[in-house]
Structure 1
Amino acid sequence: MKRRIAVLLFALLTTQVGALVNPAYACGCGAMVPDGQSRIGVDRETSVVRWDGRTEQIVMRFTVGGDAHRAAWIMPVPGRATVELGDAGMFGELAWLTRPERRTRSYFWPRGGDWPFSSGARDGLASALPGSADAGVGVVGREQLGDFDVARLTATDPDALKNWLESNGFKLPDRLAAEVKPYVDQKWEYVAVRLAPRQQGKVLRGDLDPLKIRFESPRLVYPMRLSRMARTPQSLGLYVLADHRMEPGSAIGGSAPKVTFAGTVTPKDGPLAELAGDKQVFLTAIDQEFPEPGRIDADHELRAAPADAPYRRAVYRDKLLTVGDGIPVWLLTVSAALVALAASAFAVLRRRRRLNPA
């Protein structure tokens, strides 16, 4: 047993060290890169997507770890985009709206944590970048948004785009030019962001401030293809606000997407109500894991599900079936059975004595 525990601890330590040596250079929607020899890893990306059939809005927030003081990422978009700071309070409201339903289910026979196996009780809860444009790159606009420098770019040459970004002080993955070529061919544009905290010496860690990106699109698309450059597993959470329940067209190389909530909501006041247009919308919450980011082969395209079937996760608390003042039903049942058995045995014995008197 001690040897198994030692092996397990060694494996966990190796995994953690590997995560530091091989940071995630890509996030769920684009390529994130640190400055110099710093390390940054995207532990989780959570985005709220609002689509009304014509316009798409994405409010995204990254949860990162590492020791980088500056970093940058690039996100392809199918049309001309506007960028502004998002409201982090929106994510707390969504977490509340999509919270799982808590249920209690009873079981008959005692388990390991129940008497007589244990005296204790067990709860079974289931658990942008500044600079002038190079040839082949156009700077549509640039904004300073809090700790973010945001550049909105066009590009007709993937190598020119990579060179422009590198000339502004960031070392990007060598594969970037090849990975953005499909977007260049489709004449997509790009949102390039440099995270440079104004607080001297501040490390980029934890939940970053969200950004809100808006663009015109006749289809609901969530850019993901650049995530194939990531070196560690990726985790994506999507909250989709639309007229109907939405679902990804495919897994795009990740595990099967899991719907964790589906239903109509009517946000009242606040940033979520503003994003929803102050009306009732259908909210679909989707989680997906990408154990091997290199398998990602496309962007997410979401479509209306066959039906607007509501769904809410259920978290169960297993409880021993009892009556009265907590008396286990199994104990009463077994006791009654033993009494009945004893009475039957006594009756049989008494009858035999009558038939065979001494």
Structure 2
Amino acid sequence: MTQRLWYLIPVSIWLVLLLFAAPAEACGCGAYIPREGEGTVVQERALVRWDGQTEDIVMALGVQGNTTEAAWIMPVPVEATVQLGQAELFDTLQELTKPRVEYRYGLIPPVALGAGAAPDGAVGGAAPVTLLRQQTLGPFEVSTLAATDATALSDWLADNGYTFPDGLDEVLQAYVEQKWFYIAARLTSGANGQELSGELDPLWITFPSDELIYPMRATALATGVMPVYLYVLSDHRVEKAQTFGDSRVAFAGWIEPAALPAESPLAPFVDRKLFLTKFEERIWNPPSVNDDYRFSPAAADEIYYDVEIEYRYDIGGVPIILLVMGGACLVGLVIIVGGTVLLLSRQRRRTATA
């Protein structure tokens, strides 16, 4: 039976927002508010790479709906740089970490009797908000901010066209107290009013860090079950102390530069032999999320990959049961013919000696 996995979408602290609030649709990063019509984040994935000194986070979102403008805000521990990532990165990661298929052969396909099995499982005295940098990256308008007051930060974003769900100030307050910085990005479809849909271009954020951390607290604003996909590249297999739902490792294995094509979108992140750990988590109660993901080395670099069992009931298009029956008939025929020949031979001997 092919095992069914609940694939979880990585939850960064991105707050997917749209102007002129309609009812908020929470994503793993916070809230999604359409400017016109309705829109929903249907897929959110992230790659995190850490070499002991520098952390990279690449985030991509999949959007479905009839909205024409979207924006994010992401807290980071220190001032960060931002650039565009390659759109094909997550397709490459998905292909690399997909389950391996093992084949089994059977006589008769099983009869489905019910539902399938459940899955495995700022310095004092400074301005309260400081605009550090603005840049245009493809379809994104990106601002890097520092803030010493959560309310002032919310006001700045509101004055610049962002609308927030209730409770955002409380989420940002924890980061303000830690003197974090913020990446605010706006994506528009352009003057033609084309709807945003499908996979959006990923943003690649880089900052110095002495720990491997992934912002999660804004997930508390979500109103429904939140799935998370998270790929982590590091010197060794990692584990996370925080779990806010059903969490599992879906892949764990080494990746070497020589194994990647030169043009692979993963190549810029794999400059030496690294260990890739893929986490999947399904957060059933988002308000319970009260911390960020922090990662540490696992006890061992144990290799793991999912296996899907696929049953086959034919060989070369011929049902196996027919081959078995045909083989049995052939064996039976051989026995009958052989027995008949033996019997006739004995009778001839008896006749000859009579």
How do residues 260-271 of structure 1 correspond to structure 2 at under 5 angstroms? 260-266=250-256, 267-270=260-263, 271=265
Q: What are the superposed Cα offsets for residues 227-252 of structure 1, whole Å, 9 maximum, x if unpaired?
A: 2112232221111111111122121x
Do the aligned partners of residues 164 and 33 (structure 1) sit closer, same or farther apart at CA in structure 2, a change above 3 Å counting? Answer: farther
- The AA in structure 1 aligned to 2:245 is G
Do the aligned partners of residues 325 and 149 (structure 1) sit closer, same or farther apart at CA in structure 2, a change above 3 Å counting? Answer: closer
Is 1:49 equivalent to 2:43 in the alignment? no
Do the aligned partners of residues 298 and 329 (structure 1) sit closer, same or farther apart at CA in structure 2, a change above 3 Å counting? Answer: farther
- The AA in structure 1 aligned to 2:294 is E
Do the aligned partners of residues 327 and 87 (structure 1) sit closer, same or farther apart at CA in structure 2, a change above 3 Å counting? Answer: same
Is 1:310 equivalent to 2:311 in the alignment? no
- The AA in structure 2 aligned to 1:160 is A
User: Given the two structures, how large is their TM-score scaled by the length of structure 1?
Assistant: 0.74
Do the aligned partners of residues 316 and 86 (structure 1) sit closer, same or farther apart at CA in structure 2, a change above 3 Å counting? Answer: same
Q: Aligned partners of 2:109, 2:181: CA distance in 1, in Å?
A: 62
Is 1:326 equivalent to 2:320 in the alignment? yes
- Which residue among 254, 278, 282 is the counterpart of 2:275? 282
Q: Aligned partners of 1:151, 1:327: CA distance in 2, in Å?
A: 66
3-state SS of 1:215 partner: strand
Do the aligned partners of residues 157 and 225 (structure 1) sit closer, same or farther apart at CA in structure 2, a change above 3 Å counting? Answer: same
Per the alignment, residue 66 of structure 2 pairs with 67
Is 1:141 equivalent to 2:139 in the alignment? no
Per the alignment, residue 151 of structure 1 pairs with 143
- Which residue among 291, 294, 299 is the counterpart of 1:301? 294
- The AA in structure 2 aligned to 1:69 is T
3-state SS of 1:104 partner: strand
Q: What are the superposed Cα offsets for residues 140-187 of structure 1, whole Å, 9 maximum, x if unpaired?
A: 101111111111111000000000000112221231111111111111
List runs of 5+ in structure 1 lacking aligned partners: 1-20, 114-123, 128-133, 336-358
- Which residue among 240, 245, 249 is the counterpart of 1:254? 245
List runs of 5+ in structure 2 lacking aligned partners: 1-21, 120-125, 330-354
Per the alignment, residue 25 of structure 2 pairs with 24
User: Given the two structures, how large is their TM-score scaled by the length of structure 2?
Assistant: 0.75
Whether the 8 Å CA contact 1:152–1:190 is kept in 2: the answer is: yes
Whether the 8 Å CA contact 2:82–2:204 is kept in 1: the answer is: yes
3-state SS of 2:25 partner: coil
Do the aligned partners of residues 291 and 65 (structure 1) sit closer, same or farther apart at CA in structure 2, a change above 3 Å counting? Answer: farther
Q: Aligned partners of 1:180, 1:154: CA distance in 2, in Å?
A: 12
Whether the 8 Å CA contact 1:23–1:39 is kept in 2: the answer is: no
- Which residue among 164, 175, 181 is the counterpart of 2:173? 181
3-state SS of 1:162 partner: helix
Do the aligned partners of residues 63 and 36 (structure 1) sit closer, same or farther apart at CA in structure 2, a change above 3 Å counting? Answer: closer
3-state SS of 2:266 partner: helix
Per the alignment, residue 204 of structure 1 pairs with 196
Do the aligned partners of residues 111 and 334 (structure 1) sit closer, same or farther apart at CA in structure 2, a change above 3 Å counting? Answer: farther
Per the alignment, residue 285 of structure 2 pairs with 292
CA-CA distance at 1:330 after TM superposition: 7.9
Q: Aligned partners of 1:111, 1:332: CA distance in 2, in Å?
A: 22
CA-CA distance at 1:24 after TM superposition: 2.2
Per the alignment, residue 351 of structure 1 pairs with none
Q: Aligned partners of 2:103, 2:191: CA distance in 1, in Å?
A: 48
Q: Aligned partners of 1:61, 1:24: CA distance in 2, in Å?
A: 17
Q: What are the superposed Cα offsets for residues 296-345 of structure 1, whole Å, 9 maximum, x if unpaired?
A: 121111221111111111111124599x983469869999xxxxxxxxxx
Per the alignment, residue 160 of structure 1 pairs with 152
- The AA in structure 2 aligned to 1:45 is E
